[in-house]
Structure 1
Amino acid sequence: MTTETEDWRRPGPTPEQRRFDVYAGLAATVLALFSLTLARSTGAFLLGPPPSGPEQVFWTVAVTLPLIWRRRFPATVTLVISAAFIAAQARSAPETQLSGWALFAAIYTLGAWGRDRRLSKRLRMGVIATMFVWLGVYYATTIGSIPPDAFARAVGPVPPVLAAIVSGVLVNGLYFGFAYFFGETAWLAARRQHELADQAEQLRRSQAEVREHAVVGERVRIARELHDVVAHHVSVMGVQASAARRVLDKDPVKARTALGAIEETARTAVDELRRMLGVLRARDARPDGVEPADPAGIDQVAAVVDRAREAGLRATLGVYGDRVPLPDSVSQAAYRVAQEAVTNTLKHATGATVLDVRIRYLAHEVEVDVTDDGRATRPANADGLGLIGMRERVATHGGALEVGPRPGGGWRARARFPLPVPAERPA
């Protein structure tokens, strides 16, 4: 049991429970008065000569009426009822049946609703011990007044007086034991209900956080896709438009070629945007939540290099090693990294003329290496969306990313993605 569970205190009764206690306490008092009337009518004064009628009513009410506050003040009610019960028996009040149940309810309620568990246990044990002491005093004071012929018909092997004492102790032991046990059981049930409610609330908060993280992740993914699709093609179109402007008067043929490239790049950008929006709509529409495959993959890196070449760079693509099938997610991530690296060369590499893109299929990973000979106009640790997207894509697959200036000049972006090892091939 944890410290938090041990320190838990049961909340007080609700207004509805308080009203029920009032009605139940009043009903118990009325029934006790009716039981007193029957006892007086039968003349069954088991405890001896009774006191006056008003005193009998007083003790009957004193034992049962405090039940209307039993869940609001369980400790006080238990002490009051216990003291009134002993006093009533000491005064030989004839009503014992409803009074006994009132004492049982008080001890039970203290166990079930006592907010301070240590105090509750000590009070109940003290009350029970006091009751057994009173039982011993009662037996000690009444044994001498038992008539000689009281056990004339006794036939059992146990001496009559001893049998009466053992029977009384046994009955009272069961009586108080059940009151204590049921009170503990009710308190434990309330505590478990509280724990279940607390766990349900924690689960609800956790689910809300998961949904919030999912929404944030989806926004990041959409932002990354938009950046990868738009930035690359717009950068290529910007470079080609600048070239067309410079050669428009001197070489109309080259200008028309550049304009044609701009038109083709714009069309490609629109197609990719439509594809991406289609993917998002299809994902929302599918009940299983499976995302359609993205056609962009490592095999399309050649098209990226071609667009860089059309933009005026001496771009080359080299593929080294034995090609192996890549998971769709790794293939797409490698393509986006190469695309973003080429875009950064077009946008930020001042004076770049050479672009070298290399794809290496190694033993346990695939590597995308993009270098240029330009002068970078932004630091390597910049927090641009492009670099953030590259890092996120690589980190998602447990890879490594190196971005920064090369020792001999120029810029390098190199990403490594680990490859799954087939079961039939040793690592």
Structure 2
Amino acid sequence: MVTTAPVEPRWAEWRRPGPTPAQRRSDVWVALCVVLGALGMTVLINSMGAFAFGGAPSLAEQLAWSVAVSLPLVVRRRYPLAVLLAVGALFIAAQARQTGDNLGPSVALFLAIFTVGAWERNRVVARWSRIGVIVVMFAWLGFSLVKFLVGPPYPFDDAAGPLDPVLASVLHGLAINLLFFLAAYLFGEMAWVSARREAELGHRAEQLRLSQAQNTRGAIVAERMRIARDLHDVVAHHVSVMGIQAGAARRVLDTDRDLAGTALRQVEETARVSIRELRGLLGVLRADPADQASDASSDELAAPDLDRLPELVATTRATGLEVEHSTYGDPRPVPAGVALSAYRVVQEALTNVVKHAGAHKVDLRVRYLDRAIEVEVADDGRGGTGRSSGGFGLLGMKERVAVHGGDLEAGPRRGAGYLVRATLPTTDTAEEPA
């Protein structure tokens, strides 16, 4: 199944999802706490006689106003705009009735303004509705201040500051209300921005997860291709050799039993080697990465290197071919991936010679260059006829060499025969196969 990355949202137009059931339940508890707090403050204010406006209606009416102003908060995140308008209107109405407590209604109004800023999905409505309510509240404050100024003078018996007490009282009211409404507005805006950033982080995390999944699938596909090439190389080479040896044994079985026995022993040995390599590859497939890292024997079986070329040459000689193996330059350790690819190129080239070339002599040369290693397989066979034993032959060699940034030359030789030459970089910057 193909999984596509999520489309990048237009974050400037992001709409916050509605509240979860847990958040709705939280709103109910918050509203109940505000209601209980407002009721308690009303009882305390009445018990002290310290009314906010100097006088108050009956205690029952004050309690009713406390409940009415606070109760809409139950659905504040589901219907933030409606709650703000309801709480704002009830707040002014409660003050017009001169209820004794002003703290509870102020808390409800603060939460209503904050919730619109944090949860209203239409940001234009969120901005202007809060501004409109704040303007109305300041107009109501202005009306209250005018009534205070034109009303009977307040005695200010304990006034001792440098400012006129009336001016100080007006400035105090304006400063408190400005701080109150500004905090409600800004905290709501900050909550909305924080929610949007959290959504962006979640989106980025999902993109990263999908990208990692795609990379993992790509690595799996590449690993499967590598294993398919290895399986092809192992099976094609050893089965070809066994086929030729078994055919030779069949032809001389009645005339030379000793030679037939030798050929059959070669078939047996080749089969054991083939099974051992196949078992190593399948063990790698079954093992965990940590097990693979700690299991050196499995690594050796699954990843032959240049040290096993003599064994490969001996197996090929058993088919009746004359194989010359020579090394040029000073042998040195090469990266494991490069050694494996060089070995597999030689193995595939020798397999093709055994199966298709009709050759009598093969020349295998390994050259250690300054910054690379070169392997060359040349035969005296038919040359241009099909040399790839299926879809993973020549193509597999090209892919192996290309992984390391090397070069592969494969084609008929002048006169007769076929040449395969692979040059693989051995510097530290050479890319290891996936």
Please report the TM-score for the alignment, with normalisation by the length of structure 1. 0.82
> Once structures 1 and 2 are overlaid, which stretch shifts more, 78-87 or 392-401?
392-401
Structure 1 residue 371 corresponds to structure 2 residue 378: yes
> Once structures 1 and 2 are overlaid, which stretch shifts more, 273-282 or 108-117?
273-282
Q: 1:63 to 1:363 in 2, by over 3 A?
A: same
Q: Is the 2:52–2:99 contact (alpha carbons within 8 Å) kept by the matching residues of 1?
A: no
Q: 1:171 to 1:418 in 2, by over 3 A?
A: same
SS at match of 1:346: helix
Q: Is the 2:366–2:375 contact (alpha carbons within 8 Å) kept by the matching residues of 1?
A: yes
Equivalent residue number for residue 334 of structure 1:
342
Structure 1 residue 126 corresponds to structure 2 residue 145: no
Structure 1 residue 150 corresponds to structure 2 residue 155: yes
- Which residue of 346, 359, 364 corresponds with 1:357? 364
In the TM superposition, what whole-angstrom CA distance separates every residue of 1:70-127 from its partner, at most 9, and x where no partner exists?
1111122112212222233244344422111110111122222233334323332332
SS at match of 1:115: coil
- Which residue of 399, 418, 432 corresponds with 1:411? 418
Pairwise CA distance, 1:417: 0.6
* Amino acid of the structure 2 residue aligned with 1:15: P
* Amino acid of the structure 2 residue aligned with 1:413: V
Q: 1:280 to 1:88 in 2, by over 3 A?
A: closer
1:207 and 1:357 map into 2 onto residues whose CA distance is 43
Q: 1:62 to 1:262 in 2, by over 3 A?
A: same
* Amino acid of the structure 1 residue aligned with 2:191: A
Aligned runs of 1:416-427 on 2, under 5 Å? 416-420=423-427
Q: 1:307 to 1:290 in 2, by over 3 A?
A: closer
SS at match of 1:151: coil
Q: Is the 2:383–2:413 contact (alpha carbons within 8 Å) kept by the matching residues of 1?
A: no
1:284 and 1:55 map into 2 onto residues whose CA distance is 75
Equivalent residue number for residue 324 of structure 1:
332
Equivalent residue number for residue 173 of structure 2:
168
In the TM superposition, what whole-angstrom CA distance separates every residue of 1:293-346 from its partner, at most 9, and x where no partner exists?
527322332332333333233433333334333233322321121011111222
> Once structures 1 and 2 are overlaid, which stretch shifts more, 175-184 or 218-227?
218-227
Q: Is the 2:31–2:74 contact (alpha carbons within 8 Å) kept by the matching residues of 1?
A: yes
Measured on the aligned residues, the alpha-carbon RMSD in Å equals 3.6
Equivalent residue number for residue 17 of structure 1:
23
1:153 and 1:285 map into 2 onto residues whose CA distance is 82
Structure 1 residue 97 corresponds to structure 2 residue 103: yes
Equivalent residue number for residue 396 of structure 1:
403
Please report the TM-score for the alignment, with normalisation by the length of structure 2. 0.81
Structure 1 residue 235 corresponds to structure 2 residue 240: yes
2:348 and 2:76 map into 1 onto residues whose CA distance is 74
Unaligned runs of 5+ in 2: 1-7, 430-434
Q: Is the 1:69–1:77 contact (alpha carbons within 8 Å) kept by the matching residues of 2?
A: yes
In the TM superposition, what whole-angstrom CA distance separates every residue of 1:349-387 from its partner, at most 9, and x where no partner exists?
3x333433222222321111223322555477x961334
* Amino acid of the structure 1 residue aligned with 2:420: A
Aligned runs of 1:40-59 on 2, under 5 Å? 44-47=50-53, 59=65
Structure 1 residue 76 corresponds to structure 2 residue 104: no
Equivalent residue number for residue 302 of structure 1:
310
Equivalent residue number for residue 4 of structure 2:
none
Structure 1 residue 258 corresponds to structure 2 residue 263: yes
Equivalent residue number for residue 116 of structure 2:
110
| Number of equivalent positions | 418
2:349 and 2:335 map into 1 onto residues whose CA distance is 21
> Once structures 1 and 2 are overlaid, which stretch shifts more, 176-185 or 136-145?
176-185
Structure 1 residue 141 corresponds to structure 2 residue 147: yes
SS at match of 1:385: coil
Unaligned runs of 5+ in 1: 423-427
2:45 and 2:323 map into 1 onto residues whose CA distance is 112
Between the aligned residues of both structures, percent identity stands at 50
Equivalent residue number for residue 67 of structure 1:
73
Q: 1:389 to 1:290 in 2, by over 3 A?
A: farther
Q: Is the 2:356–2:387 contact (alpha carbons within 8 Å) kept by the matching residues of 1?
A: no
* Amino acid of the structure 1 residue aligned with 2:169: A
Q: 1:120 to 1:332 in 2, by over 3 A?
A: same
Q: 1:21 to 1:323 in 2, by over 3 A?
A: closer
2:67 and 2:166 map into 1 onto residues whose CA distance is 33
Equivalent residue number for residue 425 of structure 1:
none
Q: 1:400 to 1:146 in 2, by over 3 A?
A: farther
SS at match of 1:170: helix
SS at match of 2:393: helix
Q: Is the 1:282–1:291 contact (alpha carbons within 8 Å) kept by the matching residues of 2?
A: no
1:101 and 1:83 map into 2 onto residues whose CA distance is 14
> Once structures 1 and 2 are overlaid, which stretch shifts more, 94-103 or 29-38?
29-38
> Once structures 1 and 2 are overlaid, which stretch shifts more, 269-278 or 166-175?
269-278
> Once structures 1 and 2 are overlaid, which stretch shifts more, 167-176 or 399-408?
399-408
Pairwise CA distance, 1:403: 3.4
1:88 and 1:223 map into 2 onto residues whose CA distance is 81
